[in-house]
A = this chain, B = another copy of it.
Amino acid sequence: MPLINAESRGVFVIAVTPFTETMAVDMRSVDTMVDFYFDKGADGLTILGMMGEAPKLTQAEAVEVARRTIARASGRPVVVGVSAPGLAAIGELTKAVMDLGAAGVMVAPPGSLKTDDQIAAYYAQVVETLGADVPVVLQDFPLVTGVTIAPSVIGRIVEACPSVVMLKHEDWPGLAKISELRAAEAKGRRRISILCGNGGLFLPEEMARGADGAMTGFGYPEMMVDVVRLAAGGDLDRAQDVFDAYLPLVRYEQQPGIGLAVRKHVLARRGAIAGDTQRRPGAKLAPRAVEEVERLIARQTRRLGEIG
């Protein structure tokens, strides 16, 4: 089974978790969704993240979602979010999903961490718990976790923990952070893979600053695939043309609170999943918002036609 490493690049789509109308996990839709993402060009998947409604699953369900996704991915890499309040639970879920063939696990810092030392110590504990052979993605998402990780602290973690091979970059504003991290590597620090989040809202600039790709979600993952490919190939203007065409919808989907409803609506509309149900608390997109989304999609289609 493939593992992620410090050279991993491309687009790892943050997958949703599909539910049936009765709020059971919709395993058939897991299959179609996995196919959809890879058909659109994804290099890998990340499951059981915050936008995957992971905290609303039981542990048994989480393992089943991982099993099904990894099986369907047929050898392509699947990263699994394992964040939890206790290290015992993190360790247990990690063991389960790595045994199933996961490519690595993603860990966000708990909100109780306040100082640089506490953050660095936490990741040392995580790595000690998981074992040195499990590749770890450090999820840096202060808006949600409440924990701000300075570039120097990322550096300390990278130096102390060789198995931390990737940063899911989601600080905001975070462009300067990418530059700082790459500058430190230019001076000799071990390289890590940097995949960016925030729904791709800053993806062209992030790529230009040295990111390796995206690890985030959007109803049209082909946007991220194209932008990353074009930017990696040096054609930033064309990358931005594509990005700009999708941007009105990217912006709409990034609204906190209803973003997941938008994403599931779009995915269901495109046939990637059977329905747009969220587990409670959580709700479907209101009819007026559906109209707004449809209008944006129609404009987006037209604009994509214009730019060819």
The answer, yes or no, to whether A301 is at the interface (CB within 8 Å) is no
A300 to B, closest residue via Cβ: B244
Given A85-B56, A240-B248, CB of A173 within 8 Å of CB of B92: no
Residue-by-residue, is A94-117 near B (CB-CB < 8 Å gives 1, otherwise 0)? 000000000000000010101111
- CA distance in complex: A257, B168 (Å): 20
**Contact, CB under 8 Å: B281 / A87:** yes
Given A240-B248, A247-B251, A281-B87, CB of A289 within 8 Å of CB of B116: no
The answer, yes or no, to whether A32 is at the interface (CB within 8 Å) is no
The answer, yes or no, to whether A187 is at the interface (CB within 8 Å) is no
A247 to B, closest residue via Cβ: B247
Given A248-B247, A257-B173, A292-B205, CB of A279 within 8 Å of CB of B148: no
Given A175-B292, A247-B248, CB of A281 within 8 Å of CB of B112: yes
**Contact, CB under 8 Å: A150 / B115:** yes
Given A281-B122, A292-B205, CB of A23 within 8 Å of CB of B173: no
**Contact, CB under 8 Å: A86 / B55:** yes
* Copies per complex of this chain: 4
- CA distance in complex: A78, B123 (Å): 36
The answer, yes or no, to whether A142 is at the interface (CB within 8 Å) is yes
The answer, yes or no, to whether A53 is at the interface (CB within 8 Å) is yes
Residues in B with CB closer than 8 Å to A57 are 86, 88-89
- CA distance in complex: A85, B278 (Å): 13
| A84 touches which of B23, B55, B129, B201 (Cβ 8 Å) | B55
For chain A residues 67-87, which have a beta carbon within 8 Å of chain B?
A: 84-87
The answer, yes or no, to whether A299 is at the interface (CB within 8 Å) is yes
A117 to B, closest residue via Cβ: B150
Residues in B with CB closer than 8 Å to A184 are none
The answer, yes or no, to whether A290 is at the interface (CB within 8 Å) is no
Residue-by-residue, is A143-180 near B (CB-CB < 8 Å gives 1, otherwise 0)? 00000111011000000000000000000110110010
* Given A58-B59, A173-B257, A205-B252, 10 other A-B residues pairs in contact with their CB atoms under 8 A: A23-B88, A56-B86, A114-B142, A117-B150, A118-B150, A125-B280, A172-B256, A175-B255, A244-B247, A251-B251
